[in-house]
Amino acid sequence: MLSFARTLGLGLLLAATVGCRPDTPATGTASMPPPAAAMPAPPASSTDTPASASPLTAPDTALVQKIRSPRRGDVYVVAYQPAGSLEERYFFYRVSKAGPKSVDLLPARQESTDPQADVSAAGFFTDKALTYTRAEALELMQEQPGDVQHTHLIRIRRESEVMK
């Protein structure tokens, strides 16, 4: 089986190939090889936590903490490059359930050119949860070897921070 990052990358590759967003990518359960260098993240707003910007720096501890302690309603913002493009696009997942060892994510029905895109509209996310281990979620912070779309988690939006 495939890990979270590889499953996401394959889903995005498939979507880019056929010109649509998959509603139900496969669930992953196996571990990936050690992650490759992290990609630079766009500037963060006051309510978002960016990923680390350099392979020489330690991972962003606030982002790691949010992945390790997911809350229902968290929105994972994932950056990637569509096939044949140098522009970054963004895809979103909403945490629908967080258990002691896993997290259920609802994938968005569409991508965006803006990492700050409004995801509050009814029906923005599918209703089919994908279950991932906490370790698989951590893998998403860094681009995986062989990922031609350079898929990586850049931030997690937390509703309680937006309301402050």
Contact 129, 103 (CB under 8 A): no
Give the residue with greater pLDDT, 1 vs 92. 92
Query: pLDDT tens, 68-90?
Result: 999 999 999 999 999 888 899 99
Percent pLDDT > 90 in the chain is 48
Spatial CB neighbours of 73, under 8 Å, sequence gap ≥ 6: 94, 95, 158, 159
- pLDDT of residue 97 exceeding 70: yes
Specify the pLDDT at position 105: 95
Residue-wise DSSP of 6-22: HHHHHHHHHHHHHTS--
Specify the pLDDT at position 59: 62
Q: Quick one: pLDDT band at residue 164, thresholds 50, 70, 90?
A: very low
Specify the pLDDT at position 58: 54
In angstroms, rounded to a whole number, what is the distance separating the alpha carbons of residues 110 and 15?
10
Q: Quick one: pLDDT band at residue 129, thresholds 50, 70, 90?
A: very high
